[in-house]
Structure 1
Amino acid sequence: MNAPSRLTDRKRSAIVAAAAEQFRSHGFEATSMDRIAALAGVSKRTVYNHFPSKEELFEETLVQLFQSCAGMVELAYRRDRGLREQLVELMTLKMRTLAERDFLDLARVAVAEAIHAPERALPVFARLGEREEGVTAWIRAAQADGRLKPGDPTFAATLLQGQIKAFAFWPQVAMGAPPLDPAEQEPVVDAAVSMFLSYFAVERSVSGAAEP
């Protein structure tokens, strides 16, 4: 009974994988649904059954790739650990996510589309923003615990992650800079966390642990 469903899932995955390769190699405009169908080993009709338009397929491709990379950035807030310790771990995982070359390649395509056709790229970036909820959820929990100042957790998360992206995302996407190696990542994470805590932290000591 479940075989057709599994087959459908396999076809969908094959389509997304083929689309990712084509978009990375040729960009959005030069990629055709015919070529994606051929690479995925399915009919063009099957591609359109899953994705009514190339725009929707591109959106799903980028979001799935980001989600597969970002799944690790889901550390739950813990009140028995120091804020700095948790944030350094969280932002280090964020760095690793942003260093994925496949994601960076597709992100370049998405940014190019945002310049030439913002109405097409807007839904993509909106969905990517939703996938960054892990950091926002952590901040929201720390605020509820009284260890971070109250306020909009999305605003706070954007400020924190923006400092990381300034070194580990935008230079790589916009200028082709290489991803940061671990030794280069460490001072960026340390500075970003320090600046964040200097403004948002309420307590400086919890359970004997130095804060921030």
Structure 2
Amino acid sequence: MTASTRLTDRKRSAILAAAAEQFRIHGYENASVDGIAALAEVSKRTVYNHFPSKETLFAETILQMFESSAGMLELSYRRDLSLREQLEELMRQKMRSLADRDFLDLARVAIGEAIHAPERTLPILARLGELEEGVTRWIRAAQDDGRLRPGDPAFAATLLQGQVKTFAFWPQIAMGAAPLAQVEQERVIDAAVSMFLSYFAVDAD
């Protein structure tokens, strides 16, 4: 990698970081490219060299934040451990990713834009769904090993994660609720995993 390429990458990262802060604070409509450029300490022209429009920059900011969050959900399936033990750890990782304040603030902006400007935001949210793969991969591996019922692993992952999001994402997004205390997190995880296994597990685990 050349020095020029490294500088270009640093500028792009600085722009995305500045954009995330501006969108979180001001929302999409009120965030300005001038403000993003000033915060990133680059010219407005440099911003547009990397991102042809504010809309494109918004999409890339949301995707980068989500990829960082989704990247936390990495747990390789192990046949020597119980399904419950592994699923509980996966859901703890999910809880940690959903508790990130910056992620929640930016998610709130994205969801608000989906209501006010669906033509701009729904394609972004569709891409986000494609990225949420960590739990799906784990379920697919457990199915291949014969320990979970066969079926659509994405459907099963959505059911499992949906129970967690009901308590640890949507109240924080929609009502500004505080993140769950540790004891409440464990209570939600235990219930979600128990319900999941009662339906999908081939044998009691």
Q: Distance in 2 between matches of 1:56 and 1:195?
A: 40
Q: Distance in 2 between matches of 1:123 and 1:5?
A: 30
Number of residues of Structure 1 aligned to a counterpart in Structure 2: 205
Q: Which residue of 2 aligns with 1:174?
A: 174
Give yes or no for contact 1:59–1:123 (8 Å, CA) kept in 2: no
Q: Which residue of 2 aligns with 1:59?
A: 59
State the Cα deviation string for residues 28-59 of structure 1 (Å, max 9, x = none). Answer: 00011111111111111111111111122111
Q: Distance in 2 between matches of 1:62 and 1:138?
A: 25
Give yes or no for contact 1:37–1:43 (8 Å, CA) kept in 2: yes
Give yes or no for contact 1:147–1:201 (8 Å, CA) kept in 2: yes
* Greater shift in the superposed pair: 165-174 or 54-63: 54-63
**Pairwise CA RMSD of aligned residues?**
1.0
Cα offset, 1:70, TM superposition: 2.8
* Greater shift in the superposed pair: 65-74 or 157-166: 65-74
SS class of match (1:178) = coil
Q: Which residue of 1 aligns with 2:3?
A: 3
Q: Distance in 2 between matches of 1:149 and 1:55?
A: 42
Q: What is the correspondence of 1:8-19 to structure 2 with a 5 Å cutoff? A: 8-19=8-19
Q: Which residue of 2 aligns with 1:142?
A: 142
AA aligned to 1:91 is: M
* Greater shift in the superposed pair: 92-101 or 47-56: 47-56
Q: Which residue of 2 aligns with 1:30?
A: 30
Cα offset, 1:124, TM superposition: 1.9
Q: Distance in 2 between matches of 1:55 and 1:163?
A: 32
Q: Which residue of 2 aligns with 1:40?
A: 40
State the Cα deviation string for residues 142-182 of structure 1 (Å, max 9, x = none). Answer: 11111111111111000000000000000000110011121
Q: Which residue of 1 aligns with 2:114?
A: 114
* Greater shift in the superposed pair: 22-31 or 63-72: 63-72
SS class of match (2:79) = coil
Q: Distance in 2 between matches of 1:9 and 1:195?
A: 45
Q: Distance in 2 between matches of 1:56 and 1:189?
A: 36
AA aligned to 2:64 is: Q
Could you list the runs of 5+ residues in structure 2 that have no partner in the other structure?
A: none
Q: Distance in 2 between matches of 1:119 and 1:127?
A: 14
Q: Which residue of 2 aligns with 1:102?
A: 102
Q: Distance in 1 between matches of 2:134 and 2:6?
A: 29
Give yes or no for contact 1:92–1:189 (8 Å, CA) kept in 2: yes
AA aligned to 1:12 is: R
SS class of match (2:73) = coil
* Greater shift in the superposed pair: 47-56 or 6-15: 47-56
State the Cα deviation string for residues 86-111 of structure 1 (Å, max 9, x = none). Answer: 00000010000000000000011001
